[in-house]
Amino acid sequence: MKLISVILPVYNVAPYLEQCVRSILDQTYTCLEILLIDDGSVDGSDVICDELKEKDTRITVFHQKNAGVSAARNAGLDYASGQYISFIDPDDFIDSKFYEVLVKNMEECNAQCSAIGHMRLYEEDGRSVIVSPAVKRRTLSGLEALDETFSNVDPWVGMPVNKLYMRDIIEEWRLRFRTDMRYNEDNEFCYRYLSYCDVIVRDTLPLYTYRIRKTSATFSMYTSYQNSKKSCYSADIIFSYAEQYKERLFFKRIAGYYVRVYIQHIYYMFLREEYDLSEIKFVRKKVSDVINKISEIDILFKHRIFWLGITVFPRQTYLAIKAMKGKNRK
């Protein structure tokens, strides 16, 4: 059996950590090293990590000052010794056959990446929703996988946690998570890794449970103007990467994402009752350049209407959003 290095970036997840680690320890595939990277937790997660280490020799704990999830994952990659690499978020959990299926598919298909399906567990009301469609196992190339990014039917491409990776590829191409990105750094890592794969095997068995929490980074993305700016910065990086694939569907989908992020940036600026004409002009130029160069960009109708408004009547559009916000407060 080949060794799998399982990397968990741990930060203030005390209520969930033990369930997550237990689901890894209970795997039918047992050749694992579990690397718990405590990223400066202050809620007792650091203590739980040390307690878990005493229960199973496969667990190793590393404590570091808080530096973010990307830095924690990168530390795990530096410490890893397995032929295979897996990333698990510590507030999620996995089915007992998660690694058995991933490894079996990887080796049977002679693939460089093995991906599995997932379900979402909504913490607010306890709902579980299977996200991945029930289809047969299939193989595809790295570029074919990139073309499926941001799929409404099967959003699997940009997730780092639903895949098994080869450490040789990660090290050969010096792949690491970007620590300067606040959002979508996981997508960026996946895109680059997949691009180096000749064969990827995609299985849709929902063996990974992704917990949706209100306090997650996804839900806090637009709580401030600065966070919105950081989202734009991440979109710039991903769009710049995708430009090397201008003839592929992947680039068009990334372009659509890029346009949506910048349109939403102005919308959230208006919601905060901020009006910066220089920022509006800056965004108008960036978005117009993309829209004019690329046909068939996927933009929602409401985004198109808002974009038309800030293009022709920016001040009036701002006042309209402000007025609607005022009505909603009553």
pLDDT digits (tens, 9 = 90+) for 194-215: 999 999 999 999 999 999 987 5
Contact between 72 and 9 under an 8 Å Cβ cutoff? The reply is yes
Residues 186 and 245 in one domain: no
Q: Are residues 197 and 257 in the same domain?
A: no
Tokens 């990446």 sit on residue: 113
Q: Residue 299 forms beta bridges with which residues?
A: none
What is the number of residues in the chain?
A: 330
Q: Is 116 helix (H, G, I), strand (E, B) or coil?
A: strand
Distance CA 161, CA 138 (A): 19
Ramachandran region of residue 185, left (φ > 0), alpha (ψ -120 to 50) or beta?
alpha
Indicate the helix (H) or strand (E) that contains 70: helix 69-79
pLDDT band at 226 (very low <50, low <70, confident <90, very high): confident
Q: Is residue 164 part of a domain?
A: yes
Task: For residue range 145-175, list pLDDT tens digits in order.
Answer: 999 999 988 999 999 999 999 999 999 999 9
Say yes or no: 205 and 236 in one domain.
no
The token duo for 228 is 């919105």
Cα–Cα–Cα angle for 136, 142, 92, rounded to 5 degrees: 65
Q: Based on the fold, state whether residues 23 and 155 are members of the same structural domain.
A: yes
pLDDT digits (tens, 9 = 90+) for 33-84: 999 999 999 999 999 999 999 999 999 999 999 999 999 999 999 999 999 9
Q: What percent of the chain has pLDDT over 90?
A: 83
Give the per-residue pLDDT at 224: 66
Number of domains observed in the structure of the chain: 2
Domain that holds residue 38: 4-212
- Extract the tokens encoding 213: 């929490």
d(CA 6, CA 23): 12
Which of 189, 212, 235 corresponds to the end of one domain?
212
Q: End of a domain among 212, 243, 276?
A: 212
CA atoms of 162 and 167, how far apart (whole Å): 16
Q: Residue 257: what residue type?
A: Y
What predicted TM-score, i.e. pTM, was given to this entire model? 0.94
Q: Does residue 54 belong to any structural domain of this protein? A: yes
Q: What is the DSSP string of 133-145?
A: -----EEE-HHHH
The percent of residues above 70 in pLDDT, for the chain, comes to 95
Q: What's the CA gap between 188 and 238, in Å, rounded?
A: 6
* Residue 298: pLDDT band with limits 50, 70, 90: confident
Whether 231 and 190 share a structural domain:
no
Q: Residue 253 domain-assigned?
A: yes
Q: Is the pLDDT of residue 222 over 50?
A: no
Three-state DSSP state, 164: strand
Same domain, 238 and 193: no
Same structural domain, 195 and 264: no
Are 206 and 233 part of one and the same domain?
no
Confirm whether 217 is domain-assigned: no
Spatial CA neighbour of 236 closest among 309, 185, 174: 185
Do 205 and 242 have their domain in common? no
Which residues, 6 or more positions from 32, have their beta carbon under 8 angstroms from its beta carbon? 3, 4, 5, 6, 24, 58, 82, 99
125 CB-near residues (< 8 Å, 6+ apart): none
CATH number, position 156: 3.90.550.10
